[in-house]
A = this chain, B = another copy of it.
Amino acid sequence: MRSGRYGWSSLGYDPDMDKVAEGAVVRAPRSDAVRNRASILKAASHAFATQGSGVDVREIARSAGVGMGTLYRHFPTKDLLLETVLREHFAEWTRTAWDAATDQDPAEALSAFLYDALERQANHRALVEQFAETWDTTEGIATCRRELHPVIDGLVARCHDAGVLRPGVTGEDISLLLVGLGRIAQLASVQGDPLLWRRALQIALDGLQPIHREELPSD
């Protein structure tokens, strides 16, 4: 979090960063800049969630109530804007996930985590899209997805310790299930029927129970 010291911009492009020279006075950002940045992120978040990453940048600018120039001053490329939006999403998600992961009994924690995850993905087109687009990369948007990995790995470890998870199941297995069930959640949400994905989640959770002792394929 490279500009955390300002307390106002924790992610993405910092327009004044390059002005910060040795010994220079760091001036607090103008309040309208702060406000604009926030509206842009809000508008972008909504647009990406409902229409996917293909939305027209102008629509975002318009619904944020700012001009294109302002948008591009804060986020020099569309990709960076998307990245920032998803990063915030993931950051919040990760936060909730840590809560879920620590508060309850392990099995409950895992199921709560997945439930929350699907609810998020059900309502976020771009989120689901980007899982696929960036699966094999390690930079850009992918970095934020990876912030979930420790949470998942922690959950998995706790479950194994408590003997409530099918032996052999890895964090990666859960991540992948997350993606697959996420897609299901999204489709179900298009049909306006959240029950549909809950059924799939139930099936997956049951398949993860330790009654199933058959080895999962490997090598």
Write the residues of chain A forming the contact surface with B, with a CB cutoff of 8 angstroms: 18-19, 62, 131-132, 135-136, 166, 169, 172-173, 176-177, 179-184, 186-188, 190-191, 195-200, 202-208, 211-212, 214, 216-219
Q: From A213, which residue of chain B is reached at the shortest CB distance?
A: B206
Q: Supply 17 further A-B pairs (C-beta < 8 A) apart from A176-B188, A202-B217.
A: A19-B62, A132-B186, A136-B187, A136-B191, A166-B203, A166-B206, A172-B196, A173-B196, A173-B203, A176-B196, A177-B200, A179-B183, A180-B184, A195-B218, A198-B216, A203-B216, A204-B207
A106 to B200, CA, bound (A): 21
| Among A172, A184, A219, residue most surrounded by chain B Cβ atoms (within 10 Å) | A184
A216 to B135, CA, bound (A): 31
A217–B203 touching, CB < 8 Å? no
Residues of B close to A187: CB separation below 8 A: 131-132, 135-136, 176, 179
Known: A195-B219, A198-B217, A211-B211. A203 touches B177 (CB 8 A): yes
Residues of B close to A186: CB separation below 8 A: 132
Q: Shortest distance in angstroms between A103's beta carbon and chain B's nearest beta carbon?
A: 23
A156 to B198, CA, bound (A): 19
A173 to B183, CA, bound (A): 13
Residues of B close to A214: CB separation below 8 A: 202, 206
Known: A195-B217, A198-B217. A132 touches B183 (CB 8 A): yes
